[in-house]
């Protein structure tokens, strides 16, 4: 494909992604009130256990803006099979039939991993909120800015979801010959450092348990990606050696 054809193809894929997100966002808006109640559950529990704790909307349009943000996030999560597929489909014209099979495997593994990452972020979120509110003095009340609170929750879910998909991209790049297993493991110290820093930013510094809950599966996924890439490179090397032997004869 020429550069112009690639740009046309990219525009087509982006349009489909946008359409899928918008449709899912409309459905997400219907369930956004329920989702807001679920995300506000830690605040409700804090109010029951420690006294007054309220979510404060400091603008006339604050509640509507919040529902739109939640609807958009739900749209991105629900439409994840669509936009992940479009990423794969955009790569298909440049791949062989065998490599297309690899990309399909990427799609089938990326979707559940993204959802699993969102679930992991959802699991640690109440613990983070509870821990940070625990520093509030006994004679003080908690008034949370609703926009800031829900931005934190939504960004946490999406960030962890995307982070869980990164190892799958490493495997895909290895299978199509862009990245070797040696290159993946060569930077393992840096990768672990980046993972720990990411988890430290995503969780409060004082909440070591939540940080490890996020970091451990991400490190495991990183080394699993290396293991799969190593097996693939080893098999590819054997096939190349056998081919070279046949040609030598």
Is pLDDT of 65 > 80?
A: yes
pLDDT of residue 52: 65
pLDDT of residue 22: 92
Is pLDDT of 93 > 70?
A: no
The residues with which 143 forms a beta bridge, in sequence order, are 54
d(CA 18, CA 72): 11
pLDDT of residue 106: 73
Closest CA relative to residue 53, chosen from 160, 114, 129: 129
pLDDT of residue 25: 92
Is pLDDT of 203 > 70?
A: no
pLDDT digits (tens, 9 = 90+) for 184-202: 888 888 888 888 888 877 7
Region 84-93 average pLDDT? 73
CB contact at 8 A, 103 and 91? yes
Q: Both tokens of residue 143?
A: 């008034």
143: helix, strand or coil: strand
d(CA 149, CA 137): 20
Round the average pLDDT of the chain to a whole number and report it: 81
The residues with which 54 forms a beta bridge, in sequence order, are 143
136: helix, strand or coil: coil
180: helix, strand or coil: coil
Closest CA relative to residue 163, chosen from 210, 227, 107, 120: 120
CB contact at 8 A, 83 and 19? no
The residues with which 55 forms a beta bridge, in sequence order, are 144
pTM attached to this predicted model: 0.70
Is pLDDT of 133 > 70?
A: yes
pLDDT of residue 200: 77
Least confident among 38-47, 101-110, 181-190? 101-110
pLDDT digits (tens, 9 = 90+) for 136-192: 777 777 777 888 888 888 888 888 888 888 888 888 788 777 788 888 888 888 888
Give residue 15's pLDDT band: very low, low, confident or very high (50, 70, 90): very high
pLDDT of residue 130: 77
Is pLDDT of 233 > 70?
A: yes
Alpha-carbon dihedral angle through residues 130, 136, 141, 146, given to the nearest 10 degrees: -50
pLDDT digits (tens, 9 = 90+) for 47-58: 777 666 777 887
pLDDT of residue 143: 78
């Amino acid at each position: 494909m020429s550069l112009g054809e690639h740009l046309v193809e990219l525009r087509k894929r982006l349009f489909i992604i946008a359409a899928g997100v918008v449709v899912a966002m409309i459905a997400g808006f219907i369930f956004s009130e329920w989702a807001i109640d679920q995300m506000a559950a830690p605040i409700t529990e804090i109010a029951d256990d420690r006294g007054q704790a309220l979510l404060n909307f400091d603008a006339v349009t604050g509640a509507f803006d919040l529902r739109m943000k939640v609807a958009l996030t739900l749209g991105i999560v629900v439409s994840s099979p669509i936009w992940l597929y479009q990423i794969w489909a955009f790569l298909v014209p440049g791949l062989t039939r065998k490599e297309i099979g690899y990309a399909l495997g990427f799609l089938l593994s990326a979707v559940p991993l993204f959802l699993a990452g969102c679930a992991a972020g959802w699991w640690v979120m109440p613990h983070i909120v509870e821990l940070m509110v625990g520093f509030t003095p006994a004679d003080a009340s908690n008034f949370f800015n609703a926009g800031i609170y829900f931005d934190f929750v939504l960004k946490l879910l999406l960030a962890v979801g995307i982070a869980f998909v990164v190892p799958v991209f490493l495997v895909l790049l290895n299978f199509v010959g862009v990245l070797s297993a040696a290159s993946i493991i060569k930077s393992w110290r840096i990768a672990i450092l980046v993972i720990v820093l990411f988890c430290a930013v995503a969780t409060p510094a004082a909440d070591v348990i939540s940080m490890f809950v996020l970091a451990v599966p991400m490190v495991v996924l990183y080394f699993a990606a290396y293991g799969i890439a190593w097996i693939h490179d080893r098999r590819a090397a054997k096939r190349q050696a056998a081919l070279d032997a046949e040609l030598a004869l």
